[in-house]
Chains A and B, each alone.
Chain A
Amino acid sequence: MQKPTYGRFGGQFVPEVLMPALNELEEEYERYKEDPEFLRELNYYLTEFAGRSTPLYHARNLSKKYGTKIYLKREDLVHGGAHKLNNTIGQALLAKYMGKKRIIAETGAGQHGTATAMAGANLGFETVVYMGAKDVERQRMNVYRMELMGTKVHPVRSGSMTLKDAINEALRDWVTNVENTHYLIGSVVGPHPYPMIVRDFQSVIGTEVKQQIMEKEGRLPDSIVACAGGGSNAMGIFHPFIEDTDVKLLPVEAGGCGMQVQGKTAMHSASLGAGEEGILQGARTLILQDKYGQILESTSVSAGLDYSGVGPELAHLAETGRIQPGSVNDKEALDAFHELCRLEGIIPALESSHALAYIKKMADTGELGDLVVVSLSGRGDKDLETVLKVKTTASEEKL
């Protein structure tokens, strides 16, 4: 009776009341994922609404600086400014085919919430987004964006008032309204079949990369680098390359401001690198937890990476050695943010800046090879306030 898992990881650790909904979702997804009508419509939205395909851009100046040929997969150019819409369009369309009337989602920085609001408005859903009260404060512009598109944003005041708590609250809503509501999870996390569905919808990133790099270079890259919070842009770009074992797959987690734990808080968000096996929000995976199994709060300058767990498939791939996780800290990510702005005229999201910082960190080791693809998962306009604040505090400290 056990469901497909990723090695030991994955599963469905949810209240009984959600089991019928998960079973239904799995069945319907299996049905529609090969349905020509569904695929035609999905492709239409990805092309005409989301603006795909996105360029695979040769970053000349960055390449020159690090002595290796670097391509950026420009997910920052997707409508909404991040890869998130690939998944929300896919799931919202699925929900429509399933006859649901209402979609709910969690959001940290507001990127997934915004992408859900876009899909929800366009496809005519009642849309509700749960967002930690602290994040509502920190990301007011995104809250306003969602509201403009008719989404109701619920501030969540429980726990640490951030992403983890927003997911808890979305689950509580789903438990209550499961009969007419689809829970549109924003990353490759949660109970089966979500990690699979989100990965599949995000795999459009890697599929395009494969075709584009063959056209441009006539060969596969030596390595692919992507930031990993829950891990959806990473799984999306990695998945089509899993069998190509010569291609190194490098997820980069947020090292925050140090690898230590203070009280109930880890000063980082590196669940793959420093987490331990446990059960969080529906899946067995690697999580940040104390010795009793209470979940630790995580830390990162980038709200989208600030999460105490990681997708179960990534946990499995890390264990088998197919992917090699790394991490960079807040400062390294901020430096990489500024560097890309100046060298290439592209403002990257702070999340994506972690992947860029890893290039800088690893360039001298030769580990990356001669041809590198970086997932530029989003644009950084949403982060300007954060960057400005860090800059001001840094210069005040110097005084």
Chain B
Amino acid sequence: MRIADKFRELKAKNEKALIVYVCAGDPSSEDTGKYVHALVKGGADIVELGLPFSDPVADGPTIQAASDRSLEAGMNPDVYFELAASIKEQVPLVCMTYYNLIFRRGVETFVKDCAASGITGIIVPDLPIEEAEDILKACKAHGVDMIFMVTPVTDRDRMQKIFSKGSGFLYIVSRLGVTGARADVARSTKEILEKVNTTLPRAVGFGISNGKQAAEVIAAGADAVIVGSAFVNIIASQDNVEERLEQLSRELKTGCSGQ
């Protein structure tokens, strides 16, 4: 499913989007399939499937540990695309990974494999627009959205360039730092949402972990919230995982409706 279709569907229902992240293959491909099902059942609208990299510089300890577990269990891009193809939930799947894995497979091949396995968006945290020509070309050719990030230190000029390159949604990093669950909502969230003037849906991520934070972010004007580490923490606990994923997903989705 394409990301734009999902946002159109939500708009018709007057809903905001919940975007969730899990690390593929943590702790196994089979589990990831079940977890995605639970998350979507709870209300997730878009699923980011992390393809783990040995050196994830944009990630905090939670996702670093998940990447290690998954790699240790044998995850690699071949297995990853099989897993993606096996997921039949009616939501857009987004691949989140670091550039060396894409470069190594061949940019064109990687994007083609995404499209063939039902992935319709790509996020690469270590690929700024300056280095993205190749992947943008491949994405265009294969009908995949390339999603870029803006941050509290991105100035207006740069934002404009980023808006013109990206598609799908705009990933707004609400605070300086790496991924990881936090208890509060960054004060910069509202400021940055006011600066962001784009027709793309505006999704806020980094640090969101509960329904209350989700509601605050939506109230500040976002079209979507992105939650990762909070789910990865549940997975790491190995305790009643599916039920708790579904519960948190529901809580966050409810938060997205401003409740």
Q: Which A residues form the contact surface with B (CB < 8 A)?
A: 1-3, 11-17, 19-21, 158-159, 164-165, 168, 171-172, 175-179, 264, 277-282, 284, 287, 289, 291-295
**B13-21, B149-157, B210-218, B247-255 - the one binding chain A:** B149-157
Min CB–CB distance B206 → chain A (angstroms): 10
B153 pairs with A179, CB closer than 8 A: yes
Q: Is residue B84 contacting chain A, with contact meaning CB distance below 8 A?
A: no
Min CB–CB distance B9 → chain A (angstroms): 29
A17 pairs with B57, CB closer than 8 A: no
A292 pairs with B101, CB closer than 8 A: yes
Q: How far is the CA of A397 from the CA of B41 in the complex (A)?
A: 62
Q: How far is the CA of A235 from the CA of B78 in the complex (A)?
A: 39
Query: What are 11 sample pairs from A and B whose C-beta atoms fall under 8 A apart?
Result: A13-B126, A16-B173, A17-B151, A19-B128, A158-B61, A168-B57, A278-B103, A278-B104, A284-B103, A293-B53, A294-B71
Main secondary structure of the interface of A (DSSP, over half): mixed
**A15-B57 contact given A20-B155, A172-B178, A175-B176, CB 8 Å threshold:** yes
A1 pairs with B130, CB closer than 8 A: yes
B100 pairs with A12, CB closer than 8 A: no
Min CB–CB distance A13 → chain B (angstroms): 5
Min CB–CB distance A264 → chain B (angstroms): 8
Q: Is residue B60 contacting chain A, with contact meaning CB distance below 8 A?
A: yes
Min CB–CB distance B162 → chain A (angstroms): 8
B125 pairs with A293, CB closer than 8 A: no
Starting from the known contacts A14-B57, A293-B100, A293-B105, 17 additional A-B residue pairs (CB-CB under 8 Å) come to: A1-B161, A12-B128, A14-B126, A15-B58, A16-B149, A16-B162, A16-B173, A19-B130, A19-B158, A20-B158, A159-B55, A172-B57, A172-B177, A278-B100, A289-B104, A292-B78, A294-B53
B176 pairs with A172, CB closer than 8 A: no
**A16-B101 contact given A158-B64, A172-B60, A175-B58, CB 8 Å threshold:** no
A20 pairs with B58, CB closer than 8 A: no
How many residues of chain B are within 8 Å of chain A by beta carbon?
A: 44
Within 8 A of A (CB), among B151-190: 151, 153-155, 158, 161-162, 173, 176-178
Chain A-chain B contacts (Cβ-Cβ < 8 Å), number: 120
Q: How far is the CA of A282 from the CA of B99 in the complex (A)?
A: 10
A175 pairs with B178, CB closer than 8 A: yes
Min CB–CB distance B207 → chain A (angstroms): 12
**A16-B54 contact given A179-B153, A279-B100, CB 8 Å threshold:** no
Interface core residue of B64, B68, B162 (most chain A CB under 10 Å):
B64
**A17-B176 contact given A278-B103, A292-B77, A293-B104, CB 8 Å threshold:** yes
A176 pairs with B54, CB closer than 8 A: no
Q: How far is the CA of A164 from the CA of B55 in the complex (A)?
A: 8
Min CB–CB distance B145 → chain A (angstroms): 17
Within 8 A of A (CB), among B47-81: 53-58, 60-61, 64, 68, 71, 76-78
**A279-B99 contact given A16-B148, A20-B154, CB 8 Å threshold:** yes
Q: How far is the CA of A13 from the CA of B125 in the complex (A)?
A: 9
Q: Is residue B236 contacting chain A, with contact meaning CB distance below 8 A?
A: no
B55 pairs with A17, CB closer than 8 A: no
A13 pairs with B131, CB closer than 8 A: yes
B105 to chain A: which residues have CB within 8 Å?
292-293
B154 pairs with A11, CB closer than 8 A: no
Q: Which of A12, A289, A291 contacts B131 (CB 8 A)?
A: A12
A284 to chain B: which residues have CB within 8 Å?
103
B161 to chain A: which residues have CB within 8 Å?
1
A1 to chain B: which residues have CB within 8 Å?
129-130, 161
Q: Which chain B residue lies CB-closest to A14?
A: B126
Min CB–CB distance A287 → chain B (angstroms): 8
B53 to chain A: which residues have CB within 8 Å?
293-294
Q: How far is the CA of A2 from the CA of B133 in the complex (A)?
A: 9
Q: How far is the CA of A277 from the CA of B99 in the complex (A)?
A: 12
A158 to chain B: which residues have CB within 8 Å?
61, 64
Interface core residue of A14, A17, A168 (most chain B CB under 10 Å):
A17
Q: How far is the CA of A231 from the CA of B60 in the complex (A)?
A: 29
Interface core residue of B54, B102, B148, B162 (most chain A CB under 10 Å):
B54
A178 to chain B: which residues have CB within 8 Å?
153, 176
Q: Is residue B83 contacting chain A, with contact meaning CB distance below 8 A?
A: no
A165 to chain B: which residues have CB within 8 Å?
55
B193 to chain A: which residues have CB within 8 Å?
none
Q: How far is the CA of A242 from the CA of B198 in the complex (A)?
A: 48
Min CB–CB distance B161 → chain A (angstroms): 8
B104 to chain A: which residues have CB within 8 Å?
278, 289, 291-293
B131 pairs with A11, CB closer than 8 A: yes
A282 to chain B: which residues have CB within 8 Å?
126
Interface core residue of A13, A21, A264 (most chain B CB under 10 Å):
A13
Q: Which chain A residue lies CB-closest to B161?
A: A1
Q: Is residue B196 contacting chain A, with contact meaning CB distance below 8 A?
A: no
Q: Is residue B127 contacting chain A, with contact meaning CB distance below 8 A?
A: yes
